[in-house]
């Protein structure tokens, strides 16, 4: 762990943000946020890869029934073609954010293509929250810089729903998920993945019975201190793309 923190400090020294960049929580680290340290009973549920006409509408209705809010990391090219689905998310108070234009993993793309993927999506989803999630959670220094220069905070996750639901009975998956989730977690889900919405329904019921509330990533960030993911493969450099969420 000591070595990991040394890596984080080195990474922070490698990248200084441009002047005037908005930074959540006053934390200027370039590393992705993977959860939030908070004493408040809040969890952020996030959905990646939409908007899809049927699955995104089903997720939206499910959240509304449970009086929950969530963040949808949208693929720019899809959002551009389906503005009605994006508008419906917004009408229901959901947060929408940036998940690249073409769902390409930004690691290894280089600074220009990384920036283009991010900026084109930001233009297509006017009014999107200043949050970016790289596909597969993989991003290198060029991608992190491109997000930061576009004024976006890079957010990954601390719990992945499909790791539990894949090929398993939904009740069993939901029980294990619930046991794993606590205040400040950022939960990754894909509304179109088989079994995911059924598991999220049980998860939302279980969270409510434990007094936990599902909110957007921005609401969660406002309630505590961001925890940064740490690079798996040593010091953060171009090409280094995988992270682990500490704690």
Which residue in 121, 110, 133, 145 sits closest to 30, CA to CA?
A: 145
CA distance 73 to 81: 15
Q: Least Å distance between CB 190 and Zn ion? A: 7
Pick 48 or 142: Cβ nearer Zn ion:
48
Judged by phi (left if over 0) then psi (alpha if -120 to 50, else beta), residue 103 lies in left
Q: Which residues bind Zn ion (CB under 5 A)?
A: 48-49, 135
CB of 202 to Zn ion, least distance (A): 23
Contact between 76 and 98 under an 8 Å Cβ cutoff? The reply is yes
- In the complex, what is the shortest distance from the CB of residue 13 to Zn ion, in angstroms, rounded to a whole number? 30
Q: Judged by CB, which is closer to Zn ion: 49, or 191?
A: 49
Which residues are the active-site residues? 48, 190
In sequence order, what E strands does the chain have?
A: 33-37, 42-48, 71-74, 95-98, 131-132, 153-154, 159-160, 186-189, 213-215, 225-228, 230-231, 243-244
Helix axes 170-180, 196-209, angle to 10 degrees: 50
CB closer to Zn ion out of 32 and 135: 135
Q: Kindly state the smallest distance separating residue 186's Cβ from Zn ion, in Å.
A: 14
CA gyration radius for the chain? 17
In the DSSP assignment, the letter for residue 108 is: T
Q: What is the DSSP letter of 238?
A: T
Closest to Zn ion by CB, 49 or 129: 49
């Amino acid at each position: 762990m000591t070595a990991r923190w040394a890596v984080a400090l080195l990474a922070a020294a490698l990248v200084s943000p441009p002047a005037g960049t908005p930074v959540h929580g006053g934390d200027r680290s370039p590393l992705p946020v993977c959860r939030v340290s908070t004493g408040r009973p809040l969890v952020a549920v996030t959905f990646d890869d939409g908007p899809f006409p049927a699955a995104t509408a089903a997720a939206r209705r499910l959240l509304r029934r449970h009086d929950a809010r969530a963040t949808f990391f949208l693929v720019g090219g899809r959002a551009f073609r389906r503005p009605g689905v994006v508008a419906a998310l917004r009408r229901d108070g959901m947060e929408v954010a940036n998940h690249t234009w073409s769902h390409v993993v930004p690691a290894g793309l280089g600074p220009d293509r990384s920036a283009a993927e991010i900026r084109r999506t930001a233009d297509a989803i006017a009014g999107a929250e200043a949050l970016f999630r790289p596909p597969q959670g993989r991003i290198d220094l060029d991608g992190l810089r491109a997000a930061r220069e576009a004024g976006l905070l890079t957010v990954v996750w601390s719990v992945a729903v499909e790791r539990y639901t894949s090929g398993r009975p939904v009740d069993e998956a939901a029980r294990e998920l619930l046991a794993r989730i606590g205040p400040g977690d950022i939960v990754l889900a894909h509304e179109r993945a088989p079994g995911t919405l059924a598991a999220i329904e049980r998860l939302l019921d279980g969270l409510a019975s434990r007094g936990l509330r599902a909110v957007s990533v921005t609401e969660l960030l406002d309630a505590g201190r961001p925890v940064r993911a740490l690079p798996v493969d040593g010091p953060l450099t171009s090409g280094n793309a995988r992270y682990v969420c500490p704690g």
